[in-house]
């Protein structure tokens, strides 16, 4: 009888646990469904402006002013039929002369800065992170602490002093000045690469030292190739940041309008004169498309190799 009572108790306990698990599972399903709906609505709010700009870029100027929310095809108020104007994108390359700027100049300036600033920043950060993480010397912990502390200082607080320093060093409005000022060894890239190099076993370097390799050989022939995937992910993020940078390029590189600066100039002119908004939308689409393609094609690389506190090689 004792065993029968114990068996019934265990069955009741198991049944109770299963019912609790089912309740928790159903509750989690409801919560996840709510989060799914919320994030879908949030995604729609992000996509709608882009879609709205895209289909309005095919409209005629007068039709856009009369019906900014309508599709670029259909009947007008006067009964005529509206069709998408594909020639708007062809006009972009010739019709921006009134703004004293060309889209080719914008792309050239942005691409040169993207290549120069991204390469300089990654190289200096990789060198700094490798030395601080792998070599024992007095003050390396202080350097790491300062690298974190600097990130808490707002750039606007030192903007006036920094601008005066750039002018005194004759780096203002020069290409090499933009490269030099961007080649800092600290920042988020330093912290991520520091975590990556810290996780690499030093036995690789010791084996190379035994074979007669020097410090530079170890760094360039062993450590950097092992960090290739991590550097690629950081390079993509750096390219996006430089491409979208407006403040730095507007303040320190004013004579060479980039994509971000050129868009702002064209936008201000369009708003001031109330001119061709569809043409402006075409410029936005053309300037945004390279970054969208780059991020979409490298999204898995970024997600795979970036983690909180470091990169996974």
pLDDT tens across 161-180, in order?
888 888 888 889 888 888 88
Q: How far apart are CA 281 and CA 42, in angstroms?
A: 23
Q: Is residue 206 part of a domain?
A: yes
Q: 106-115, 120-129, 156-165: lowest mean pLDDT where?
A: 156-165
- Of residues 125 and 301, the one with the higher pLDDT is 125
Q: Would residue 265 count as lying in a domain?
A: yes
Higher pLDDT, 108 or 6: 108
User: How does residue 192 score in pLDDT terms, banded at 50, 70 and 90?
Assistant: confident
Q: What is the mean pLDDT of residues 34-55?
A: 86
Q: What angle do CA 141, 147, 149 make, to 5 degrees?
A: 100
Reply yes or no on whether the pLDDT at 181 is more than 50.
Answer: yes
Poorest-pLDDT segment among 207-221, 234-248, 282-296: 282-296
Among 112-121, 130-139, 185-194, the range of highest mean pLDDT: 112-121
Kindly state whether residue 269 falls inside one of the protein's structural domains. Answer: yes
Tell me what pLDDT residue 10 has. 55
| pLDDT for residue 160 is more than 70 | yes
What confidence score (pLDDT) does residue 118 get? Answer: 92
Which DSSP string do the residues of the chain spell out, in sequence order? Answer: -HHHHHHHHHHHHHHHHHHHHHHHHHHHHHHHHHHHHHHHHHHHHHHHHHHHHHHHTTS-HHHHHH-TTS-SSEE-TTSPEE---THHHHHHHHHGGGGT--HHHHHHHHHHHHHHHHHHHHHHHHHHHHHHHH---TTHHHHHHHHHHHTTS-GGGGHHHHHHHHHHTT-TT-HHHHHHHH--S-SHHHHHHHHHHHHS-THHHHHHHHTT--HHHHIIIIIHHHTHHHHHHHHHHHHHHHHH--HHHHHH-TTS--HHHHHHHHHHHHHHHT--HHHHHHHHHHHHHHHHHHHHHTHHHHHHHEETTEE--
pTM: 0.75
- Domain of residue 211, CATH code: 1.10.3720.10
Mean per-residue pLDDT, 1-11: 50
Confidence of residue 96 (pLDDT cuts 50, 70, 90): low
Q: Indicate whether 137 belongs to any domain.
A: yes
| Radius of gyration, CA atoms only, the chain | 28
User: Per mean pLDDT, which range of 38-47, 61-70, 220-229 is the poorest?
Assistant: 61-70
Residue 3 lies in a domain: no
pLDDT at residue 20, rounded to an integer? 61
Per-residue pLDDT at 303: 67
Give the span between the Cα atoms of 76 and 69, in whole angstroms: 13
In a domain, residue 112? The reply is yes
Tokens of 118: 């991204």
Q: How confident is the model at residue 313 (pLDDT cuts 50, 70, 90)?
A: very low
Averaged pLDDT for residues 205-217? 87
- Position 50 in a domain: no
pLDDT-based confidence at residue 114 (cuts at 50, 70, 90): very high
Average pLDDT over every residue of 231-245: 88
Q: Is residue 116 part of a domain?
A: yes
- The CA distance from 308 to 198, in Å, is 15
Looking at residue 312, what is its pLDDT?
A: 43
pLDDT of residue 215: 87
| Number of compact structural domains in the chain | 1
């Amino acid at each position: 009888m004792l065993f029968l009572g114990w068996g019934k108790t265990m069955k009741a306990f198991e049944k109770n646990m299963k019912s609790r698990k089912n309740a928790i599972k159903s509750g989690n399903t409801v919560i996840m469904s709510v989060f799914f709906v919320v994030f879908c609505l949030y995604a729609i709010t992000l996509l709608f402006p882009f879609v709205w700009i895209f289909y309005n870029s095919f409209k005629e100027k007068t039709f856009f002013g009369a019906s900014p929310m309508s599709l670029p095809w259909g009947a007008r108020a006067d009964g005529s039929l509206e069709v998408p104007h594909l020639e708007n994108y062809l006009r972009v390359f010739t019709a921006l002369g009134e703004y004293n700027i060309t889209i080719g100049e914008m792309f050239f300036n942005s691409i040169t800065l993207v290549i120069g600033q991204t390469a300089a920043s990654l190289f200096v950060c990789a060198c700094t992170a490798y030395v601080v993480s792998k070599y024992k010397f007095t003050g390396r912990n202080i350097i790491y602490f300062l690298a974190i502390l600097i990130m808490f200082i707002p750039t606007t607080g030192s903007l006036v002093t920094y601008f005066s320093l750039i002018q005194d060093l004759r780096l203002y409005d020069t290409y090499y000045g933009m490269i030099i000022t961007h080649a800092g060894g600290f920042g988020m890239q330093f912290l991520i690469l520091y975590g990556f190099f810290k996780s690499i076993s030093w036995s690789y370097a010791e084996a190379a030292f035994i074979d007669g390799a020097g410090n530079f050989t170890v760094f360039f022939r062993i450590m950097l190739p092992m960090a290739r995937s991590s550097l690629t992910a950081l390079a993509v993020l750096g390219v996006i940041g430089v491409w979208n940078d407006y403040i730095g390029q507007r303040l320190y590189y004013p004579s060479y309008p980039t994509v971000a600066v050129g868009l702002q100039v064209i936008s201000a002119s369009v708003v001031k004169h109330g001119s061709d908004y569809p043409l402006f939308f075409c410029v936005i689409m053309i300037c945004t498309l390279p970054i969208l393609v780059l991020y979409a094609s490298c999204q898995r690389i970024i997600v795979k190799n970036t983690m909180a506190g470091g990169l996974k090689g």
